[in-house]
């Protein structure tokens, strides 16, 4: 398996535009996580899915953020409208089960909102 695949690797957009980040988890993994990393706040868990169902979205900063997982092999994180403070590295991770296992992280998407 190629691991967790995220796209794009880099995204530069203007304030107010819609941004969509994509993630392909490892095949067979039941859990998918979206994280955001900034210098100020470190790594923050935004939302996670179990078997394509959102379980906990308490980390989603506000209504401008939304995440979907239409099938087991694809997830999106959308920001609409984007703001400069959304600039960060967004990571997607997947794991086989909830505990006693390792999570595999993608290489991240570096988002810059100007």
Binding site for other proteins (CB under 8 A): 4, 31, 33, 35, 42-45, 48, 50, 55-56, 89, 91, 93, 95, 97-100, 102-108, 110
Backbone angles phi, psi at 73, to 5 degrees: -115, 10
Q: Are 67 and 60 in contact (CB under 8 A)?
A: yes
What torsion, rounded to 10 degrees, do the Cα atoms 89, 95, 97, 98 define? Answer: -20
- Nearer of residues 35 and 65 to other proteins, judged by Cβ: 35
Q: How far apart are CA 56 and CA 53, in angstroms?
A: 9
- Nearer of residues 4 and 113 to other proteins, judged by Cβ: 4
- Nearest distance, CB of residue 106 and other proteins, angstroms: 6
Q: How far apart are CA 43 and CA 79, in angstroms?
A: 18
- Nearest distance, CB of residue 98 and other proteins, angstroms: 3
- Nearer of residues 40 and 63 to other proteins, judged by Cβ: 40
- Nearest distance, CB of residue 33 and other proteins, angstroms: 7
């Amino acid at each position: 398996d190629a691991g967790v695949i995220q796209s794009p690797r880099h995204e530069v957009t203007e304030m107010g535009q819609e941004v969509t980040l994509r993630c392909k988890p490892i095949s067979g993994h039941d859990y998918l996580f979206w994280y955001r990393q900034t210098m100020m706040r470190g790594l923050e868990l935004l939302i996670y899915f179990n078997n394509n169902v959102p379980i906990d979205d308490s980390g989603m900063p506000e209504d401008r953020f939304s995440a979907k997982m239409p099938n087991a092999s694809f997830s999106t994180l959308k920001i609409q409208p984007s703001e400069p403070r959304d600039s960060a590295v967004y990571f997607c991770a997947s794991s086989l089960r909830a505990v006693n296992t390792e999570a595999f992280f993608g290489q991240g998407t570096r988002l810059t909102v100007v």
